[in-house]
């Protein structure tokens, strides 16, 4: 058993007390403990602002890209060890661990490539300006500059690697130091990764901080110019965002919360259509990868009422192929939920959904461990139902919802209250042209799959750094990633007014962004 420490104010520190236990979700063995109690958070944030911030802002975008690329290199050298940690602490299969570990490394490399393209600039200038008065020479132009505070990154338990590095990549490229607070239950992986990066010395002092455990007073020490990027439950987000100090300082606060993500089968997709086969593959994959513990996983499945029997008949054997068990066992494709607490919550949510649905595949009973079988539910009257549009089981559970018209499908899509991702499987261009824009206001991202991309698309639940990640309503209302768009959260956009010649001189050497 190991003791996780925090890396704050340029040194490793241990919190007070016995701390929280990190366990193997299969065996229940205690693997590590972590405590952040008694640590000086104010000192840690000040160190990041005073040391990390100036060091990063002194570098060009290309210089910061070099740091990010070097960081990714350190992680890539140790990826097999990280996969072993993910298996032990999160119950990840090899596929699950790869999604987390490789996803983090890949996102770092992507943002390093963006930084190289921005070159030696330290300033971003928007491509167009505006004439403000009758004098054509008097113009307004918008520039982006690095925030002078620190970014606090609060991450969820399900992606201790990707959640850490996808936020860090954007923050570092923007020239803003960060303090990462991983969810304690699975923080061992984040700890090992940060430890390797610190040992390699690839980042300036203060550019990166890590808090393992604790953090109860973290919001109390933020200042104007600091930002918070949060991933986790809506309830926790609301508590943190309503902190009096956060409100008083007007701290920029982005939330990515769990949501009832949607997958829809178009009316044209018959059982022999390539779109139907791709739909079945994607729903079964999204239900079972990481045992359904993804904030983007499919929770609600819309199908034409005439296709319900066909969909059930196809999904049953597909889900049965995902053998559940200890990921160390050959042939196992779906592991446990990460903790007993998460499992208890999943079983309770499943029981609540059963009041409005029937089990058509999978199911079972709580055996006292951390396993939940892949379970497909059917809600025959989804327009009248409530729980299926409000309760998310954060595990391998999804609900089929028949629709009788396109208008009804649109109504059902919006009943989820806003989600991170939706996917639509159809080859009917006319249907897609009406349906996708009609549901887009409730979804941060919409994947459209027809036969031409059925074998090559990135996947419903895979977050690509090129596109924004986030969603409206219950999904939190935030945005992150999205290529250059992600930098906006960590930078201040200011309108500069003056003569055209002055603006040109001032922004000479700036990287131009067409946003």
8 A C-beta contact, residue 478 and residue 256: yes
The string of DSSP codes covering 88-107 is: HHH---HHHHHHHHHHHHHH
Rounded CA-CA distance 229/423 in Å is: 25
Q: Name the active-site residue from 256, 282, 392, 480.
A: 256
The string of DSSP codes covering 153-196 is: EE--TT-TTHHHHHHHHHHHHHT--EEEE--GGGTHHHHHHHHH
Rounded CA-CA distance 111/466 in Å is: 9
Catalytic site includes residue 120: no
Rounded CA-CA distance 36/19 in Å is: 8
Partner residues linked to 491 by β-bridges: 146
8 A C-beta contact, residue 186 and residue 338: yes
Q: Is the C-alpha dihedral spanning 231, 236, 237, 243 positive or negative?
A: negative
Q: Which two tokens stand for residue 95?
A: 């596929």
166's CB contacts (< 8 A; 6+ apart) are: 103, 104, 107, 463, 465, 469, 480, 481
Angle at 392 between CA 391 and CA 394, to 5 degrees: 150
Q: Which two tokens stand for residue 423?
A: 């996917």
Q: Which two tokens stand for residue 221?
A: 């020490």
Q: Name the active-site residue from 192, 212, 286, 295.
A: 295
Catalytic site includes residue 295: yes
Place of tokens 């005439």: 306
Secondary structure class of 118 (helix, strand, coil) = helix
Angle at 477 between CA 101 and CA 145, to 5 degrees: 75
Q: What are phi and psi of 221, to 5 degrees?
A: -110, 10
Burial class (CB in 10 A: 0-12, 13-18, 19+), 241: middle
Return the closest-CA partner of residue 374 out of 325, 438, 308: 325
Rounded CA-CA distance 95/491 in Å is: 35
Instruction: From residue 26, give the alpha-carbon distance in Å to each of 93, 332, 395, 396.
Output: 12, 13, 16, 17
Secondary structure class of 281 (helix, strand, coil) = helix
Catalytic residues: 256, 295
């Amino acid at each position: 058993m190991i003791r996780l420490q925090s890396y704050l104010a340029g040194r490793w520190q241990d919190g007070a007390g016995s701390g929280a236990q990190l366990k193997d979700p299969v065996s229940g063995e205690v693997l590590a403990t972590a405590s952040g109690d008694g640590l000086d958070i104010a000192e840690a944030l000040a160190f990041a602002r005073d040391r990390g911030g100036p060091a990063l802002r002194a570098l060009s975008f290309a210089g910061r890209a070099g740091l990010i690329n070097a960081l990714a290199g350190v992680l890539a050298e140790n990826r097999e060890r990280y996969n072993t940690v993910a298996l032990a602490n999160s119950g990840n299969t090899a596929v699950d661990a790869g999604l987390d570990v490789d996803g983090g490394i890949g996102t770092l490399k992507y943002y390093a490539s963006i930084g190289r393209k921005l070159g030696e600039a330290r300033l971003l200038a928007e491509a167009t300006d505006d004439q403000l008065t009758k004098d054509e020479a008097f113009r307004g132009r918008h520039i982006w500059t690095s925030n002078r505070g620190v970014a606090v990154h609060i991450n969820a338990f399900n992606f201790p690697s990707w959640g850490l590095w996808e936020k860090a990549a954007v923050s570092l490229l923007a020239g803003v130091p960060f303090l990462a607070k991983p969810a304690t239950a699975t923080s061992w992986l984040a700890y090992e990764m940060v430890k390797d990066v610190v040992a390699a010395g690839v980042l300036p002092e203060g550019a990166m901080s890590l808090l393992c455990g604790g953090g109860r007073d973290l919001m109390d020490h933020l200042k104007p110019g600091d930002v918070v990027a949060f991933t986790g439950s809506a309830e926790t987000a609301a508590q943190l965002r309503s902190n009096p100090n956060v409100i008083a300082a007007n701290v920029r606060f982005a939330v990515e919360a769990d949501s009832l993500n949607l997958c829809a089968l178009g009316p044209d997709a018959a059982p022999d259509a390539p779109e139907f086969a791709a739909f079945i593959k994607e729903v079964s994959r999204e239900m079972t990868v990481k045992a359904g513990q993804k904030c983007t996983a499919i929770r609600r499945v819309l199908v034409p009422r005439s296709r319900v029997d066909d969909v059930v008949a196809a999904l049953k054997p597909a889900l049965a192929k995902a053998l559940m068990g200890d990921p160390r066992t050959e042939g196992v494709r779906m592991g446990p939920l990460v903790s007993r607490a998460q499992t208890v919550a999943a079983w309770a949510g499943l029981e609540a959904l059963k009041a409005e649905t029937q089990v058509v595949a999978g199911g079972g009973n709580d055996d006292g461990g951390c396993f939940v079988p892949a379970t497909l539910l059917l809600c025959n009257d989804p327009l009248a139902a409530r729980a299926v549009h409000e309760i998310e089981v954060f595990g391998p559970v999804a609900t089929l919802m028949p629709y009788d018209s396109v208008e009804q499908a649109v109504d059902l899509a919006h009943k989820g209250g806003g989600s991170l991702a939706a996917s639509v499987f159809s080859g009917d261009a006319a249907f897609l042209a009406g349906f996708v824009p009609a549901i887009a206001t409730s979804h941060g991202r919409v994947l459209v799959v027809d036969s031409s991309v059925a074998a090559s698309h990135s996947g419903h639940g895979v977050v690509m750094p090129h596109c924004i990640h986030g969603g409206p309503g219950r999904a939190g209302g935030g945005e992150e990633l999205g290529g250059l768009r992600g930098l906006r959260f960590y930078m201040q956009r200011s309108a500069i007014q003056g003569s055209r010649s002055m603006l040109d001189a001032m922004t000479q050497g700036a990287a131009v962004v067409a946003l």
